[in-house]
């Protein structure tokens, strides 16, 4: 699929970007070029220590900000496929610095769309978040805007061989700033702060996120939002998994935070189809839905929605511990905590 192709990853030094790079380099030895596009020279330097151009000749490190349309155009020269992972993501930071998030997450998305149309890019997969479904915080609102821009771009591409698709998923286990690394760090204090004991979240591993993006690159028709079927967890179970003896301190919900997350709202249900491993939001595009249905997809039941509280699958404490060892820290143990 990617052998002989040129692929650019915006935000390539982030948690997802690094996992994507490692997977692609291992799986597609014939890839033509793999470009890391990001704005932080230190993070690029650090990534070079483990993924160097000497060891992987297809790799390129390209400094640039998605806020800079001209720099994006330069970076996209000769690129076939774009994976858009660059974003500002921290919910509290967005509430206090809203326009900074708009400039990166919304205006940056439009810059990328226009730069792709000005070059020879043929496939674009943009990463979204469950917080974009019925958003109550600024971060989620910017990602919803971004999703709408990428979906709508399929209608203005003209005769270009160019498809824009979006993947939307929940909390990535072990990613920077997420709850499990935070709890692992805090458990030595004997106290774990929890916002609300009823809080639930979707859970996906970095590896599953990478596979979702690779599926979208190969199979997406353009205009859909792809949602994986993944389990949920209760935040108290995460605390018990990490440090069963720790005291729980309820600190209250942060600004812009939900008790439960959604990936498909009841309003999105009529435009959602089930393809087995994933749900697809077709955004009122009847022709797109029919193309998938003719290939075997099914419409979801009337009144369908998909949120972390009503999920059919919840991770147990033991399952969480196993996943932490697999995806976060192979030496993890809850003994003594």
CATH number, domain with residue 150 = 3.40.50.720
pLDDT at 319: 95
Contact 94, 101 (CB under 8 A): yes
Which one of 5, 18, 89, 131 is the catalytic residue? 131
Which two three-digit tokens encode residue 63? 């400094």
In a domain, 42, yes or no: yes
164, containing H or E segment: strand 163-167
Asked whether residue 156 is domain-assigned, the answer is yes
Is the pLDDT at 174 greater than 80? The verdict is no
> Is the pLDDT reported for residue 282 higher than 90?
yes
CA–CA dist 269, 227 (Å, integer)? 12
Counted domains in the chain: 1
Q: What is the pLDDT of residue 244?
A: 93
* pLDDT, tens only, 175-203: 776 789 899 999 999 999 998 999 999 99
- The residue segments making up the domain with residue 279 are 6-169+204-229+266-306
Residue 75 has phi, psi (to 5 degrees) of: -65, -25
Could you tell me what percent of the chain has a pLDDT over 90? 86
pLDDT at 91: 87
Measured between alpha carbons, how far is 305 from 323 in angstroms, rounded to an integer? 26
pLDDT at 334 over 80: yes
Following CA atoms 245, 198, 265, 85 in sequence, which dihedral angle do they give, to the nearest 10 degrees? -30
Residue 179: inside a domain: no
Classify residue 65: in a domain, yes or no: yes
Does the predicted TM-score (pTM) go above 0.85? yes
Average pLDDT estimate for 134-143? 94
Average pLDDT over residues 300-319: 94
> What per-residue confidence (pLDDT) applies to 187?
93
Residue count of the chain? 337
User: Is residue 318 in a domain?
Assistant: no
Q: What is the pLDDT of residues 228-260, one digit of tens each?
A: 999 999 999 999 999 999 999 998 887 778 899
124 in a domain, yes or no? yes
Q: b/e for 213-247, b at 16 or more Cβ within 10 A? A: bbbbbeebbbbbbbbbebbbbbbbbbbbbbbeebe
> Is 131 considered catalytic here?
yes
Mean per-residue pLDDT over the chain, rounded: 93
């Amino acid at each position: 699929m990617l052998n002989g192709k040129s692929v650019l990853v915006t935000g390539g030094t982030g948690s997802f970007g690094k996992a994507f790079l490692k997977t692609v380099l291992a799986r597609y030895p014939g890839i033509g070029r793999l470009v890391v596009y990001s704005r932080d020279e230190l993070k690029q330097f650090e990534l070079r220590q483990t993924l160097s151009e000497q060891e992987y000749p297809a790799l390129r490190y390209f400094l640039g900000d998605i806020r800079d349309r001209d720099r994006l155009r330069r970076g996209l020269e000769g690129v076939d496929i774009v994976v858009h992972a660059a974003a500002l993501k921290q919910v509290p930071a967005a509430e206090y610095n809203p326009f900074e998030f708009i400039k990166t997450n919304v205006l940056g998305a439009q810059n990328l769309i226009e730069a792709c149309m000005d070059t020879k890019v043929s496939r674009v997969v943009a990463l979204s978040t469950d917080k974009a479904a019925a958003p109550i915080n600024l971060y989620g609102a910017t990602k919803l805007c971004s999703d709408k821009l990428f979906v709508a771009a399929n209608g203005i591409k003209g005769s270009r061989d160019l498809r824009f698709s979006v993947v939307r998923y929940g909390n990535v286990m072990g990613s920077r700033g997420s709850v499990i690394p935070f709890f692992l760090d805090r458990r030595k204090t004997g106290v774990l702060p929890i916002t609300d004991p009823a809080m639930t979240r979707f859970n996906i591993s970095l590896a599953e996120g990478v596979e979702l993006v690779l599926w979208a690159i190969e199979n997406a028709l353009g205009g859909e939002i792809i949602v994986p079927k993944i389990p949920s967890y209760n935040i108290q179970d995460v605390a018990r998994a990490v440090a069963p003896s720790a005291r729980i301190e309820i600190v209250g919900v942060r600004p812009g935070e939900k008790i439960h997350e959604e990936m498909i709202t009841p309003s999105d249900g009529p435009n959602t189809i089930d393809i087995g491993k994933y749900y697809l939001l077709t955004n009122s595009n009847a022709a797109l839905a029919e193309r998938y249905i003719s290939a075997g997809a099914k419409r979801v039941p009337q009144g369908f929605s998909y949120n972390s509280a009503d999920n059919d699958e919840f991770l147990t404490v033991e399952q969480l511990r196993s996943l932490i060892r697999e995806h976060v820290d192979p030496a993890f143990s809850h003994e003594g905590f």
